[in-house]
Chain A
Amino acid sequence: MSLIYLDNNATTKVDPKVLEAMMPYLQEEYANPSSIYDFAKRSNYAVKEARGIIKDFFNAENEKEIIFTSCGSESANMAVRGVLNMNKNKRHIITTQVEHPCVLNLYQALEKEGYKVDYIGVNSNGELDLAQLEQTINNDTAIVSIMYANNETGVIFPIEKISEIIKSKNKETKFFVDAVQVSGKIPIDVQTMGADLVGISGHKFHAPKGIGALYVNSKTLIKPLIIGGHQERGKRAGTENVPYIVGMAKAAELATDCLKYEATEVKRLRDKLEANILKNVYNARLNAGIVNRVPNTTNIGFEYIEGELILLHLSDLGICASSGSACTSGSLEPSHVLRAMNVPFTAIHGSIRFSLSKYTTEKEIDYVCEKMPGIIEKLTNLSPFQDELEALKKLKN
């Protein structure tokens, strides 16, 4: 049984070219880039070169605007706390109800510390309520933090427009964009986005886990979280993770080359999978509107059956996906994203996210399309909601 990996929003496979680029820095080129001797020059140069590549990946103006971090969560923490600690007199934060849990948990912690946090909602298509955002910004708003695209549904938020709204209401309010879920899927251009801070994570675009970056534009001052050495221009202490920095830079180069493929081929395969399931499974519904989405993600709710059970049956066939179901997480709480979108309870527990990558093949998608109706039929037969399912079937036909 071969593996069909359709959970690329969780993490991705390391590109062999990335590993190849990293290897010298895990072996012979082990010098600390801060050291003075010639031996350290090559690792020092490697970090500099990588910073240039990541600068281009963000389309930033200056390499000084790039800070290497260990992950997306660190990037978010550094951005938000960095801004708040620099503006101690401002106590208001705005974010969305559908942020990634790593960001949401940060805001819940900040609320306990006395900050006021407003959470912007979404409609049933998954689109942000921009009017609510506009009304909520005030003179006390230190930072607005909005993800570029939602990790569960793939819905892309209109960052440029949001930035205009923020700046028109309060020029001093900083704008942090969690771009973890779009990196390598659509181009990131910090200059047109109008964002002050943008975070990414390497393992979402075929670099290894444990490396991320934060863009902080030159007009935005942040207080560092990790105090120590002078690394990252004093913004993030700790000896540079040279091999991983090199790896993420290589991954960024490869991802940039691949953007067109993502927008065409990956999207085509995603659309094929989605259309096929929606056509052949009568109790399937798309958990997003016909809106702008990242090309690799689809989220489908299967009514009256439960997500973990679907995942377990997919796993028996070697197919990896994820679910918005409560049961898979151990938290007992169904997806906060789908709840914010008002996805009915009949479908929320049976929601499955498929996320593709450049490695996904047509053959794999055909296999999933072939197997999915059978799995769903088997599980539908287990459901106590046979009358409701029968009614749904009639409605669909």
Chain B
Amino acid sequence: MWDYSDKVIDHYRNPRNVGKIDNADAVGLAGSLACGDQLKIYLKIENNIVTDAKFQTFGCGSAVASSSILTEMIIGKTVDEVKKITNQDIADQLDGLPPEKMHCSVMGYEALEDALKNWDNYQDLDEIRNEAPEKIVCTCFGVTENQIWDAIKSNGFKTVDEITEYTQAGGACGRCKSLIKDIIDTYYKKETEESTLSPAQKILKINNIIENQISLELKKDGGDITLVDIQDNKVMVKLRGKCSGCKNSHLTLKAFVETTLRDAVDKNIEVVEV
């Protein structure tokens, strides 16, 4: 039996916001009957704020709990806030889901995404259903290439099993497992091409450039710089000497330090003074 959290149990026992909104501003759909779970979510949106949300779910305990808590999470939020919700947020709000059940939270996320996509010019649901399908990888569960790609990208999955737990793809007949493996390989091949540096190498390189290049330049003007911390692409530095308190320090930071690091290491680097 699954080890469900008390929150999951509470939500499948007493689901919130069950039903349909007749004049909904947006309706989203995810999953299918054949796969064993389907979620329909209805939103009422006024002045960019989700004023009401209801759901109907065909699925297991964690699917119902994910849908139920999702409606609670979005009511009263602005559309921009709602757009930022990920499947992990749904799972976190439920105090976690068993790994095999993570796809239930993904379904919630997908239904929400689908609803927002259809929000501006809300179409009849049947039309949405009849849209040209994307390339399906797993025919048993109707999982597309894009869904698998997104799953790898947002979770860093490296194995087919992880993909299966998350998206269900490959969970039934298993014929698509080699295709999933190909997608994983392609993704990581591409990623390596994009950034060949490991995080450790990146830190070293940034440190070297600051010490041997930037610092020397600033010293010429009686200033100096030290590296404080690096978090992903955020480089935190302290300006010293004449630079500290200089009213042009912002310019120094952005136009000189940031540009130098961006050119040499990674175009996404952001330099901040701490």
A interface with B by C-beta (< 8 Å): 304-309, 312-313, 316, 325-328, 330-334, 345-346, 349, 381-386
Contact residues in B for A306 (Cβ distance below 8 Å)? 36-37, 58-60, 63
**Least CB distance, B9 to chain A, in whole angstroms:** 8
- Find out whether the CB atom of B57 lies under 8 angstroms from the CB atom of A382: yes
Which of A332, A345, A384 is the one whose CB lies under 8 Å from B34? A345
Is B171 positioned at the interface, with any CB of A under 8 Å from its CB?
yes
- Find out whether the CB atom of A330 lies under 8 angstroms from the CB atom of B58: no
- Find out whether the CB atom of B56 lies under 8 angstroms from the CB atom of A386: yes
- Find out whether the CB atom of B64 lies under 8 angstroms from the CB atom of A382: yes
- Find out whether the CB atom of B15 lies under 8 angstroms from the CB atom of A346: no
Contact residues in B for A327 (Cβ distance below 8 Å)? 36-37, 59-60, 63, 101
Within 8 A of A (CB), among B3-61: 12-13, 15, 18-20, 33-34, 36-40, 56-61
Complex Cα–Cα for A316 and B100 (A):
22
- Find out whether the CB atom of B33 lies under 8 angstroms from the CB atom of A309: no
Is B246 positioned at the interface, with any CB of A under 8 Å from its CB?
no
**Least CB distance, B121 to chain A, in whole angstroms:** 23
Which of A304, A308, A330, A332 is the one whose CB lies under 8 Å from B61? A308
Query: What are 24 A-B contacts defined by CB distance under 8 Å?
Result: A304-B33, A306-B37, A306-B58, A307-B60, A309-B60, A309-B64, A312-B61, A325-B36, A325-B60, A326-B36, A326-B171, A327-B37, A328-B60, A333-B172, A349-B33, A349-B58, A381-B18, A382-B15, A382-B57, A384-B39, A384-B40, A385-B33, A385-B58, A386-B20
- Find out whether the CB atom of A316 lies under 8 angstroms from the CB atom of B13: yes
Majority DSSP secondary structure for residues of B touching A: mixed
**Least CB distance, A297 to chain B, in whole angstroms:** 21
Which of B15, B33, B100 is the one whose CB lies under 8 Å from A330? B100
Given the interface pairs A331-B171, A382-B56, A382-B57, the reply to whether A345 lies near B33 with Cβ below 8 Å is yes
Complex Cα–Cα for A325 and B35 (A):
10
Given the interface pairs A316-B13, A382-B15, A384-B38, the reply to whether A308 lies near B60 with Cβ below 8 Å is yes
- Find out whether the CB atom of B100 lies under 8 angstroms from the CB atom of A334: no
Is B168 positioned at the interface, with any CB of A under 8 Å from its CB?
yes
**Least CB distance, A375 to chain B, in whole angstroms:** 11
Complex Cα–Cα for A278 and B132 (A):
40
Contact residues in A for B58 (Cβ distance below 8 Å)? 304-306, 349, 382-385
Complex Cα–Cα for A385 and B125 (A):
13
Chain B, Cβ-Cβ closest to A305: B58
Complex Cα–Cα for A330 and B36 (A):
13
Is B71 positioned at the interface, with any CB of A under 8 Å from its CB?
no
Given the interface pairs A330-B100, A383-B56, the reply to whether A349 lies near B40 with Cβ below 8 Å is no
Contact residues in A for B34 (Cβ distance below 8 Å)? 345
Lowest 9 A-B CB distances belong to which pairs? A332-B171, A327-B60, A384-B56, A308-B60, A384-B40, A349-B36, A333-B172, A345-B34, A312-B61
Complex Cα–Cα for A346 and B36 (A):
9
Contact residues in B for A385 (Cβ distance below 8 Å)? 33, 58
Complex Cα–Cα for A327 and B100 (A):
9
Is B164 positioned at the interface, with any CB of A under 8 Å from its CB?
yes
Contact residues in B for A333 (Cβ distance below 8 Å)? 140, 171-172
B165-185 vs A, CB cutoff 8 Å, 1 = contact: the mask equals 000100110000000000000
Contact residues in B for A305 (Cβ distance below 8 Å)? 58
Within 8 A of A (CB), among B139-153: 140-141
Complex Cα–Cα for A349 and B32 (A):
12
Chain A, Cβ-Cβ closest to B9: A312
Chain B, Cβ-Cβ closest to A333: B172
Complex Cα–Cα for A43 and B38 (A):
58
**Least CB distance, B185 to chain A, in whole angstroms:** 23
Contact residues in A for B140 (Cβ distance below 8 Å)? 333
Given the interface pairs A309-B12, A333-B171, the reply to whether A384 lies near B57 with Cβ below 8 Å is yes
Complex Cα–Cα for A326 and B34 (A):
11
Complex Cα–Cα for A328 and B59 (A):
11
**Least CB distance, A379 to chain B, in whole angstroms:** 9
Contact residues in B for A328 (Cβ distance below 8 Å)? 60
Contact residues in A for B18 (Cβ distance below 8 Å)? 381-382
**Least CB distance, B28 to chain A, in whole angstroms:** 11
Interface centre among A304, A308, A313 (most CB of B within 10 A): A308
- Find out whether the CB atom of A332 lies under 8 angstroms from the CB atom of B33: no
Complex Cα–Cα for A306 and B12 (A):
12
Contact residues in A for B101 (Cβ distance below 8 Å)? 327
